[in-house]
Amino acid sequence: MVNFLWGNIFRHSRKDRHLQAILKECPLFEHLSAGELRFLAEIVHVRSYQPGEVVFFEGEIGVGMYIICHGEIEVYARYNDEEELVATLSAGDFLGESSLVEVESRRTATARAKQELKTIGFFKTDLKEITARSPLLGVKILTALGQVLALRLRATSEKIIELKQEVNRFKESRPTP
Amino acid sequence: MILSNGERQSIIRRNQRIKLITFLGVLVLLIAIIVLVENMLLSSLLAFVMSYLLSPIANRLERTGVPRWLAVTMTFAGVSLFLFGFGFIIFPVLAEQISSFRLDVPKYIEGTTRLLNHIESRINALVGDFYAVNLSEQAEDILIAWTTSLFVDLPRVLSNSLTTLFLAPFIAFFLLKDGRAMTHRLFGLVPNYLFEFTLIVFHQVNDQMGHFIRARLLEALIVGLAVFLGLWAMGFPYAPLIGAFAGLTNLIPYVGPFIGAIPALAIALVNGESALTIGLALGVFGIAQLIDIFLLIPVIVAKIVDLHPLTVVIAIIIGAQLMGVLGMLISIPLASAFKVIFVNLYHHTLNFRA
């Protein structure tokens, strides 16, 4: 739909506009102007995967994030030597963003394509290039990244509080010997 | 149609193999074109040097909000204008020096031979009974061969490579403007399981090369300038030529600085300069080297991958045997690139998938 509406405004190819529309939906890039999105679209990497193909392995050094264009990603984490499905992500979702700022961070789960999958890869080196060529755009993206990471941190903290409360309730409910 | 897990995996593996072969094929083809097509190697090397030198300027311009193509065009236009103006001042001086030096060359060769004859007769007077030393004959041949290669081959190479002189900036312009898009296309061919790794290694090598080329050229410029200023202040003949030569040879590690001092020493000895003048001239080279070692290397060259001195010397020898002076100059950046690639491959295979 969006492509159709933008059809006559930009002379860029349909594919690129589609790419920009997907980027615009990602919280990391939602504040960017049309020009900035065009700049970004030239920098990111579009990758295709076969069903069952691995996007990244748990334990691997991560160097960037992926946004799903279409298809689904299944995320597996290893518990006691057994792979367990922890999440299924679909178009518009993104993963791995913390590795954009972490040093030598390792992937905490394995991501595998469920069907034919197309992703947009955005990596540390891309972020570095953006800050070198357009620092203002770099600041915008880094601020948004900070907000995303803060939200994740808040969600994690809330989860911890919830779990603590549950542990306490469990302790209280147990009859004291 | 529902595929079994095994069938899926074999399709994935086959596709990855095809992608890998295509990627490596394109790489090999590019390298083959660069190495095999006449004038291409030198042009591409020069183009890489130019694009590494100019990319910080283009990036800085781009940061002001100018589109990339305009930033690159402005950079090229500005630098050409500067070089043109600079050339107007420096070329007549250098040309005059080179032509007068060329006239003087036979005198210097003869003088050096005479000097060596003198040394030889002294040595022979000492050890002649045991072993006849014959320096001058060999030395004269070597000197004549060297100077011919310098004054006959060099201009020939330069004029033959008018193509190079046009081709190099042309390639550099598009490397700067579209290099990103080109590598992007190439990365598109990399199979998924190697993609992140290729991306990291490429950028590390690219950064290293950029640092290396900018740092070494700046270092050479400052050393050459220091030698020129020192000799010029002394009123030494051919100071600009000797300075330019010293700057150029300074690009070759360890041996370069010594080679750089030879012409000045030869000129001084042949002209029969006083010991004081010779000492002062050598002092100028010494000071330039001290500036290099204690100021330039720690401040601007330190970021470069460090290679062991032995590796450096072996790389230079290999380079010299394969490609002469050009080989000596490019051996070190190439050795550093190989080191970055191999260190990363090793690191990758050991740690990337822990």
Contact B353 A135 (CB under 8 A): no
Which pTM does this prediction carry? 0.77
* Residues of chain B neighbouring A64 (CB-CB closer than 8 A): 196
Q: pLDDT-derived band of residue B179, with 50, 70 and 90 as boundaries? A: confident
Retrieve residue A117's tokens. 């999958």
Which residue of chain B comes nearest to A138, CA vs CA? B63
pLDDT of residue B163: 72
Contact A47 B351 (CB under 8 A): no
Alpha helical stretches, state H, chain A:
2-6, 14-25, 34-43, 124-133, 135-173
CA distance A56 to chain B (A): 8
CA distance B61 to chain A (A): 9
pLDDT averaged over chain B? 81
CA distance B147 to B301: 32
What does the pLDDT look like over B219-248, one tens digit per residue? 889 999 999 999 889 888 888 888 988 998
Which position has the higher pLDDT, B75 or B241? B75
Q: Which 8-state DSSP code applies to residue B299?
A: I
Contact A133 B188 (CB under 8 A): no
CA distance B8 to B12: 6
CA distance B270 to A123: 62
CB-nearest to A53 from B63, B180, B192 is: B192
CA distance B196 to chain A (A): 7
pLDDT of residue B324: 73
Q: Does the pLDDT of residue B161 top 70, yes or no?
A: no
What does the pLDDT look like over A126-158, one tens digit per residue? 999 999 889 999 999 999 999 999 999 999 999
Which position has the higher pLDDT, A4 or B48? B48
Contact B180 A49 (CB under 8 A): no
Retrieve residue B75's tokens. 């950079």
* Residues of chain A neighbouring B200 (CB-CB closer than 8 A): 63, 125
Which residue of chain B comes nearest to A136, CA vs CA? B63
pLDDT of residue B76: 92
Lowest mean pLDDT among A66-75, A150-159, B18-27, B212-221: B212-221
CB-nearest to B12 from A46, A50, A59 is: A50
Q: How much is the ipTM here?
A: 0.81
CA distance A33 to A12: 16
pLDDT of residue A1: 37
* Residues of chain A neighbouring B59 (CB-CB closer than 8 A): 132-133
Q: pLDDT-derived band of residue B58, with 50, 70 and 90 as boundaries? A: very high
- Asked whether the CA dihedral B27, B30, B35, B40 is positive or negative, the reply is negative
What does the pLDDT look like over A33-68, one tens digit per residue? 998 998 899 899 999 998 889 999 888 888 899 999
CA distance A67 to A29: 11
CB-nearest to B59 from A57, A106, A133 is: A133
Which residue of chain B comes nearest to A51, CA vs CA? B8
Q: Which 8-state DSSP code applies to residue A108?
A: S
